Structure 1
Amino acid sequence: MTNKLEKLPKDSFERITIDSTQAEKISKPSLSFWQDAWLRIRKNKAAIVSMFILIFIVFMTFAGPFMVKHDPEAVKVSHANLPPKVPGLEKLGIFDGVGKLGSKTVNLYELKKIDTYYWFGTDSLGRDLFSRLWKGTQISLLIAFVAAFIDVVVGVIYGGISGYYGGRTDDIMQRIVEVLIGIPTLVIVILMIMMMDSGIWSIIIAISITGWIGMSRIVRGQVLKYKNQEFVLAARTLGASDRRIIGKHLLPNLMAIIIVNMMFTIPTAIFFEAFLSFIGLGLQAPKASLGTLINDGYKFISYQPYMLFFPAFVLSLLMIAFNLIGDGLRDALDPKMKD
């Protein structure tokens, strides 16, 4: 038998011409670092939900005190220790103004002949807890954001100078940091608050005295990592000044780690302020914060648990939301975490 090679007809082939100008064209649009990070954080459902919760709480801190007609600092002793009562919900058997009077459960609004509503009830001085809660949350967030901002600014500048210049400058600056770390933070904060008049700014200054140390150490480590890399050496070879190298080359590469650590610094400041107010070293009456409200509620936890529940719940939401957002940002801004 003879094997015959079967030839395919010429029309079975088609010549393809490739345009050399389109050979390396990328069909998918290129994304910047921040656009790519946003696409990754959108996949983190916990971080997105936390963002909405945080936005809602911030909105309520401004709108909440105006949603009711009660002044958060107005004292009405005749309205003291009233349980929550909300229009509409009272018909469902919840938030209906029913509370304990001794060993009996009665409608305190009817007993005291009060025709107004207190959505979260009142405290021992008859102050509205709804407006007081959101006003206190506003003050706690203000203290936390300002303290975190000061920590970031001081920490970035201190750590950047220490890491960039190195040598004797770095040795002296790090010895100062080691001395401050060796002293318990709570001792420093208590001494500063005792030396200054109690108020918002005294708490901010007290929290900021040692709060910047963690940020400075992180920034110093990153600067030591980047300052000897090729892009920095090339800029220095081309005659770029130290200011330009830090501002144009080092700082942009540090922004991701700075933002992530700031998101973890804010809840730490919120909790620390609440702790100081809880032990009586924070804001003084009639001002309110989450710490003072929790302290007031703790005293009446057996009879009016709602006084403790609402501020503790908001504080817990803030702590969880900030930490989940921080985790999401860390994963999104870290190139090693790419899918």
Structure 2
Amino acid sequence: MTQHPEQLPKGVFERVTIDPSQAEKIAKPSLNFWQDAWRRLRKNKGAVVSLVVFLLILIMSIIGPHIGQFDPNQQTITHANLPPKVGGLEFLPLFDGVGTLGGQEVDLYEMKNVEVNYWLGTDGLGRDMFSRVWAGTQVSLFIAFMAAIIDMGIGIVYGGISGYFGGRIDDVLQRIVEILIGIPNLVVVILMIMIMDPGITAIIIALTITGWIGMSRVVRGQILKFKNQEFVLASKTLGASNTRIIWKHLLPNILGIVIINTMFTIPNAIFFEAFLSFIGLGLQAPEASLGTLINDGYKLIEFQPHILVYPAIVLSIIMIAFNLIGDGLRDALDPKMKD
């Protein structure tokens, strides 16, 4: 005897009628690569907050030297070594204008008959620290961005040519890179600064002499990875020139990794510039950078800590912000991190 499977009662299922025009509708909006990367970057709260903080510092580095009433290099010896004082915030210990003199805490502004307030105090020559900190930040950021842009340009061209053409060209170019890597970076930088007159141009050139090597090796590796892919071979079959293949196919695919490496290059350049200025090989007086300000401040840290603290805080914030932004971009631009 044949047994029939148990039948479900009628009414359990309901017929759903779908509009044919909506049958193949995509639920999510269509996004290109950069829109999708921006969407994922916005989910990284640390990177977004760091980006906002860095933009604020960038804006202040531009307008900060002009907000105060003092020129960054203006010297007023009678106002030397004044602590920070902000009108309306005298109730805060950090901004009350009180300093230590002879082991006693006194209001140095009243003692020296100073009628103006210095928001971040003054240095040993009576220069306004508020304007000098932001002027120094502007110089440090300019040097870092210029060095990063030059490194990126040279690295992309050098690494792209080496990886794409390969063969004898690749062998020669990579031997040159290996020779440059074998020379300590600090030695090259010191020699260049000794040959050239100290200044912004000398520091930028010194930073870019060997700074592009890392970028070129990354670009070369990515080009070697993509140049034998099917879409490149198809373009070659259709008669595309080498220039078109590089600009239209290879470069857009490696742009993400180039941006990520550039974001990590900038804080390294800022720190290296600060290091050079700290050891006396950077900018010369009276020009200011974060490194020169820290160099001036550490000598008086026991008596006038504000000269060191504020540029050190700005430098630390910039370094942390750039590293968090770089981490966020790495996650956003990496296709393997797609959700």
TM-score (norm 1): 0.95
Q: Following TM superposition, by how much is the alpha carbon of 1:8 offset from its aligned partner in structure 2, in angstroms?
A: 6.7
Counterpart secondary structure, 2:90: helix
Q: Determine the structure 1 residue equivalent to 2:48.
A: 48
- Using the alignment, how far apart are the partners of 1:196 and 1:58 within structure 2? 29
Q: 1:158 corresponds to which letter in structure 2?
A: Y
- The residue type paired with residue 25 of structure 1 is K
The whole-number CA distance in structure 2 between the counterparts of 1:131 and 1:125 is: 14
> Once the 2 structures are TM-superposed, how far is the Cα of residue 16 of structure 1 from its aligned partner?
4.3
Q: Which residue of 1 aligns with 2:302?
A: 302
Q: 1 CA distance for matches of 2:337 and 2:277?
A: 39
Q: Which residue of 1 aligns with 2:154?
A: 154
When residues 197 and 22 of structure 1 are mapped into structure 2, their CA distance, relative to the original with a 3 A threshold, is same
Q: Aligned partners of 1:44, 1:13: CA distance in 2, in Å?
A: 43
TM-superposed deviation, 1:102 = 2.6
Q: Which runs of 4+ in 1 moved over 4 A?
A: 3-10, 12-18
In the other structure, the counterpart of 1:200 is: 200
Q: Which residue of 1 aligns with 2:234?
A: 234
The amino acid across from 1:287 in the alignment is E
Paired residue secondary structure (1:266): helix
What is aligned with 1:324? 324
Task: Give distance in 2, aligned partners of 1:108 and 1:307.
Answer: 16
Distance of 2:18 and 2:229 partners within structure 1: 43
CA shift, 1:54, in A, is: 0.3
The 5-angstrom pairing of residues 261-280 of structure 1 reads 261-280=261-280
User: Partners of 1:111 and 1:179 in 2: how far apart?
Assistant: 61
Tell me if 1:135 matches 2:121: no
- Residue 25 of structure 1 and its aligned partner are, at CA, apart by 3.4
Partner of 1:112: 112
Structure 1 match to 2:75: 75
Distance 2:100 2:157 in 1: 56
Deviations 1:116-174 (A, max 9, x none): 10000000000000000000000000000000000000000000000000000000000
2:26 aligns to what SS in structure 1? Answer: coil
Aligned mates of 1:302, 1:17 — CA distance in 2: 78
Q: Deviations over 1:171-206 (max 9, x none)?
A: 000000000000000000000000000110110000
Cα drift, residue 29 of structure 1: 1.6
CA distance in structure 2 between the aligned counterparts of 1:209 and 1:257, rounded to whole angstroms: 22
Q: Give the aligned partner of residue 38 of structure 2.
A: 38
Deviates most, 37-46 or 96-105: 96-105
**Offset at 1:7?**
9.9
Gap change, CA 1:186 and 1:27, over 3 Å in 2: same
Alignment CA distance shift 1:7-1:225 (3 Å): closer
Q: What SS does the aligned partner of 2:286 have?
A: coil
**Structure 1 residue 93: deviation in Å?**
3.9
The 1:17/1:215 distance shift into structure 2, 3 A limit, reads closer
The 1:6/1:233 distance shift into structure 2, 3 A limit, reads closer
What is the number of equivalent residue pairs in this alignment? Answer: 336
Q: The residue matched to 1:89 in structure 2 has which SS?
A: coil
Structure 2 alignment gaps of length 5 or more: none
What is the distance in 2 between the residues matched to 1:103 and 1:14?
Answer: 90
1:90/1:238 Cα in 2 relative to 1: closer, same or farther (>3 Å)? same
Where structure 1 has 5 or more consecutive residues not aligned to the other structure, the ranges are: none
The structure-2 alpha-carbon separation of the partners of 1:202 and 1:7, relative to structure 1 and needing over 3 Å to count, comes to: closer
- Cα drift, residue 27 of structure 1: 2.6
- Taking structure 1 as reference, are residues 9 and 290 closer, same or farther at Cα in structure 2, changes over 3 Å only? closer
Report how far residue 228 of structure 1 moved: 0.3
Shift of 1:28: 1.9
What's the RMSD between the two structures over aligned residues?
A: 2.0
Deviation at 1:9, TM superposition (A): 7.1
d(CA) in 2 for partners of 1:306, 1:32: 48
Q: Closer, same or farther in 2 for the Cα pair 1:14/1:306, shift >3 Å? A: closer
The CA distance in 1 between the partners of 2:281 and 2:242, in whole Å, is: 44
Equivalent residue, structure 2, for 1:91: 91
Q: For 2:26 and 2:330, locate their aligned partners in 1 and report how far apart those are by CA, in whole Å.
A: 28
1:338 aligns with 2:338: yes
Normalising by the residue count of structure 2, what TM-score does the alignment of the two structures yield? 0.95
